[in-house]
Amino acid sequence: MDLFQGVENPLLPPESAVSTMRGILGEATGGACTMRITAANHCPVCGYDLGFPAWRADSASDEICPCCRIQFGFDDWDVVNEGERAQIYASWRKRWIDQGMKWNSKGRKPPDGWNPVSQLRLIGVQL
Ligand SMILES: [Zn+2]
């Protein structure tokens, strides 16, 4: 019996998932400056391209950065303003750098040719 009978390509997501993704991407880029969206998808601590914004206005992604391990909405939650959050990111970044800028995720591998120093440059941090 052919398990994939009737399925065009089992490796591709179903069309419904693709159109949902298109909707989300369209919403993210529609009318907004692309540069800003791109920068917003980078981890504010280590610069890793998360592929989504750490925060959307007052709503955290609740995701953990696979690189520096900060969890948005948890480790950076207890703050009263953006400036205070920036301080949390700065001290988290300092600790991550002091510990040797290691890739922290065990489940996810770093991108090919991963370079933490050039990654930090993406968020304006020069070492
Ligand atoms: Zn990070």
**Tens-place pLDDT, residues 56-100:** 888 899 999 999 999 999 999 877 777 889 999 999 999 999 999
Q: Comparing C-alpha atoms, which of 95, 100, 90, 83 is closest to residue 125?
A: 90
CA atoms within 13 A on the CB side of 17: 4
- Sorted by where each begins, the domain ranges of the chain are 41-121
Strand-strand pairing, 55-56 and 59-60: antiparallel
Q: Please tell me the pTM assigned to this model.
A: 0.68
Distance 22 CA to ligand 1 centre (A): 26
Q: 7 is written with which tokens?
A: 């399925």
What is the 57 CA–ligand 1 centroid distance (Å)? 19
Distance 93 CA to ligand 1 centre (A): 8
Amino acid at 94: K
CB 15 within 8 A of CB 94: no
The rounded Å distance from CA 67 to ligand 1 centre is 5
pLDDT tens digit sequence for 9-48: 555 454 444 444 444 444 444 433 343 444 579 999 999 9
